Amino acid sequence: MSDGDRPSGAQEGPSGFGLANLYDFFVDIVVKERVFLTLLGVGFLTAALTYDIPWIAMWVGFAVAGYSAVANDSIQTIGTFIASNREQKWWHLWLFIGGIWLATIGYSWWAYDGDVTYGRLAAKGFEASPTSFSFLQVAAPLFLLILTRLRMPVSTTFLLLSSFAAGAGSVASVATKSLAGYGVAFVLAFAIWMALSAVMDRHFVGKPAAFWRPFQWLTSGLLWSVWIQQDAANIAVYLPRSLNVVQVLAFGGVVFVGLGFLFKMGGERVQEIVDEKSNVVDVRAATVIDLVYTVILYVFKIWSNVPMSTTWVFIGLLAGRELAMSLRKSSELTLKQAAKLMGRDVLFAGIGLAVSLGLAFAVNVEFRNAVWSYFGG
């Protein structure tokens, strides 16, 4: 950009970074992200025009939540699947994962009398279907899209469910279960990779045996199905607790199409959280990660029907794994680098939690009153 193109008064400061640099920085962002920013603007406008029409608002909120939740949480479930199957046709991956989505929510709808969340929204504080919406409740998934674009592994459970919780106690139950999940995942992953990383290094060399690919698809499919049983509540929270045939077809179809876009793009930007970790492109290592994660999620699923943040469980698993591998010298990362990655992931998830609670406080009267009462307000 020439000096003549800069806005009047944009001059360099003594540090070398002045208004001109700041202007160029924002122009660069707008140019690179013009499509995303346009869609974001359309989303906020749509939310503003529809939030006071409940039967429309619930579908607008659900549609955006469906894509944003899957795009952000894809790192947990299909992130390693995408990373280790780059050479496969994207639509093969889409039909496989999309088919499991339809089968999993279809079974819940049939077995739970129209409920597609496996009873997660029957937990105390979430059992009532919303009958009215605020602007921020409908727009909440758009904030999730922004954080996803910034590569932040945000908890969709906190961000989306906390805006509809009937009280602070419900959010506290979710937080307690989620933090317990982080701790369990961290300790279990650390123990497993401390014990087995050296063995994996010796055997996970060269071209994988033919059986590894179908085994990975099997474990990825199981993980994806268990994740749906945990987190379908995050996007179904906008809808009636019991869906009729037309509603469940819309519910399944919108997310199925969104998955197609996700696989076509090779994952959203938050996929880099997985790609930067050690050895995730190896189908054997990816399979082990998926298998351990599946077991953890399934145990927490049968423990209680309280929703939980699977994001916190996943970053706990990756943190324990990276720390163990660095200690065992089986990672290209040093202990300091592994600790830095672990701290950054926790920081970003913490930022997402703060944004979630801020939104809940702003839009949820019951939550706000409970917080004021707790602090003596």
Give residue limits of the domains in the chain. Answer: 51-360
Write out the two tokens for 249: 């077809």
Q: Where do we find the tokens 């351990």?
A: 292
> For 147-151, what is the mean pLDDT?
73
List pLDDT tens digits, range 57-94: 999 999 988 877 777 666 667 776 777 777 888 899 99
Q: Pinpoint the alpha helices (H) of the chain.
A: 19-32, 34-50, 54-77, 79-83, 90-111, 135-149, 156, 168-203, 212-236, 245-264, 272-275, 283-303, 310-327, 335-363, 365-374
pLDDT at 10: 43
Phi, psi dihedrals of residue 85, rounded to the nearest 5°: -130, 35
Secondary structure of residue 144 in the 3-state scheme: helix
Cβ distance 184 to 310 under 8 Å? Answer: no
The residues, ordered by sequence, that sit 6+ positions from 85 with a Cβ below 8 Å of its Cβ are 93, 283
pLDDT at 26 (0 to 100): 54
Q: What are phi and psi of 304, to 5 degrees?
A: -160, 165
- The answer to whether 231 touches 73, Cβ cutoff 8 Å, is yes
- Residue 102 — pLDDT band, cuts 50, 70, 90? very high
DSSP code per residue over 232-300? HHHHHTTS-SS--HHHHHHHHHHHHHHHHHHHHTTS-GGGHHHHTSTTTTSHHHHHHHHHHHHHHHHHH
User: CA-based angle 49:51:52, to the nearest 5?
Assistant: 95
Alpha-helical (H) ranges within 150-207 are 156, 168-203
pLDDT digits 0-9 by tens, 41-64: 999 999 999 999 999 999 999 998
In this prediction, residue 289 carries a pLDDT of 82
Length of the chain: 377
Residue with structure tokens 């540090």? 15
Measured in whole angstroms, the distance separating CA 346 from the mean position of its chain's CA atoms is 14
Judged on CB neighbours under 10 Å (0-12, 13-18, 19+), 272 is: middle
109-123, 222-236, 316-330: least confident range: 316-330
